[in-house]
Structures are given as C-alpha cells and as structure tokens.
Amino acid sequence: PKSTFFGVDLDQDSISKASATLQHTSLTNVTFTCKDLGDLPPGSVDLVVNHDCIHDLKDPIGALRAVRRALRPGGAFLSMEPMVGDSLEENNTPGGGLSYGISLLHCMTVSLAQGGMGLGAGSFGPKTYEGIAREAGFTEFRKVGSNMVNHFYEL
C-alpha cells in the first residue's frame, strides 16, 4: 500500500497505451513516463524489472550501469531475457532457430539502426549476459528461474 510504481519507456505510444489502461483501474500509486532509463536519479529505486529488452538496446552495458546507479543499497534488478544459449551449438533446436530469426529481423536490427552493439536474442545466453552485467559493475548475477521462452535473472 505504501509502494509506488513507475514505468519508463522511450516509446511514447507505449507510455500512452499504458497510461490509458491505467485510467481504467483503481490504482493510485502507478505512473508511466516517456524517458531514458539513464535519466533515473541515482539511488532512487529499490527494484528495477525489465522484460526482454536488454539484448535489443543500443548500449546494453550503459543501460545496465544506469540500472545499477539507480538502485538503492540493497536494491535488486530482476531481468527477463530470452531462453537461449551462448553459442550456435547450444541453440541448434527449433526454438533456437526461431530466436535467430526474430533476432535478425528485430532485435539486432533495432540496435544496429541506432549504431549499437547488435547483440540480438540469438546468442544472448546466461554467460554472455553475465559478462555484460559484470562489465557494467554488477557483482551478483544469478539465474533464478525459467519458463518455456525466458530465463529470469537477479542482478
């Protein structure tokens, strides 16, 4: 009851849709804002949650640094990313083929179009993600669960 929640996204259409949906609820402790994750004030949040986007970003290391900076001491980052391995051999499955296709047509393209790393979902497995997270300054990284399509990590 004393918690506040806010969602941020660079896409104004997504923020508008979320805000419109929110108006049909009784929630009074939720807001949505169109802003860059890097603009979150240092030490301002206890929990950051992302859903399937770090691998799409222009600068995933910079984004993770921004998350780490925004977390209060003792805060946590819960991250959901595609259930893929770190190599072609690990992803030689029907699901792996689908991930590579989606990655080529969306994930990598989004990042590369902005001059980014172009990581994509195809090989953004646990070892790759952990390496990037540690480069961004996270000292803790663990997989806390999975479902049919995603891994869940706590940083």
Alpha-carbon torsion angle 13, 54, 136, 115, nearest 10: -70
Q: Confirm if 31 and 88 have CB atoms less than 8 A apart.
A: no
- Residue 71 is predicted with a pLDDT of 97
* Predicted confidence (pLDDT) per residue in 8-17, tens digit: 998 999 999 9
Question: Phi first, then psi: what are they for 87, rounded to 5°?
Answer: -140, 165
Residues 91-110, mean pLDDT to the nearest whole number? 88
pLDDT higher than threshold 90 for residue 123: no
Q: How far is CA 93 from CA 55, 99, 121, 122, 134, in A?
A: 20, 10, 14, 12, 29
pTM, two decimals, is 0.90
**CB 140, CB 154: distance < 8 Å:** yes
Enumerate the H helices of the chain as residue ranges.
12-22, 60-70, 94-102, 108-113, 126-135
Residue 9 DSSP code:
E
| Residue 3: CB atoms within 10 Å | 8
Beta pairing partners, 79: 50, 153
Q: Residue 141: what residue type?
A: F
Query: By C-alpha distance, which of 42, 52, 56 is closest to 105?
Result: 56
pLDDT the model gives residue 91: 87
